Every structure is written in structure tokens, then in C-alpha cells.
Amino acid sequence: MTCEIHLGVPEMEALWEDLKEKIASDSANSDEEKLYKLLGKAMVLLSQNPRHPGLQSHEIDPLTARYGMKVWESYLENNKPKAGRIFWVYGPEKGDITIIGLEPHPDDAKSNAYKKITLSHMGKEIE
């Protein structure tokens, strides 16, 4: 099963376009280069298999409850302080995945760890 990857609007789409532009113009700093590589790799893995073991994808119940659709979290990296996580949903069409957030790993031991996370929209059709 291959999925088509979309980026949430406006934040995720704008972030990716900015990273691509900086990489192409050789003006990205080391953190931006690292994020570009990690996010790019994660998008490839997600498109090939959302349950790829390296992504450690799992549903985030507090975000699912808040947004009214299943919200998944996947790892960009692991075993590092504030390791990056992407948040995504299936859709808007069958076979699509939309990345709607990027955050450092929240401290999910705290009861309100996911309250501060704000996610992009899937697209114009979903407001």
C-alpha cells in the first residue's frame, strides 16, 4: 500500500516549502538541514508504510478527542532530548496521509502534555 503524502495548511506546507527553498539556495543552517532530512525521510517511510517500525506510529487519544478524527504521532528521531515528532491523519481522500503538525516530543507523563499542540488543517475543504 502506497499513500500520497500531503502537508497541512498553512503551517506544514509553508515550513516544507521554506526548507526546500533554503536547501536549494544553500542558505539552510545545520538545524534546518537536519530537519529537512528527517522530515523528508519520514514522509518517504509514511508513504510506503505508515506502520514502519522506525516511525513507531501510534494514535494520540487526547488529540483524536480534540480534533474529532484519529490523530497519529510518528517519530522523526528517538532517544534524544526533545526528539522531533510529526502528527498526521489519514485523508482527505482514501490512500492519503496529511501531516498536520511537527513538535518536539511532549512530556506525555504530564496529564496536559498535548494541550499546547496546535495542528494545521488538512486543506481548504476542511475548516
Q: Is residue 126 part of a domain?
A: no
Q: Residue 123 and residue 77: Cα distance in Å, rounded?
A: 27
Q: What is the three-class DSSP state of 100?
A: strand
Q: Do 81 and 112 contact (CB within 8 A), yes or no?
A: no
CB 6 within 8 A of CB 98: yes
**What are the tens digits of pLDDT across the range 47-91?**
999 999 999 999 999 999 999 999 999 999 987 777 899 999 999
Look at residue 125 and tell me whether its pLDDT is greater than 50: no
Q: Is residue 98 part of a domain?
A: yes
Cell readout for 108 is 506525555
- pTM score of the predicted model: 0.88
In a domain, 28, yes or no: yes
CATH of the domain at 32: 3.30.2310.20
Total domains present in the chain: 1
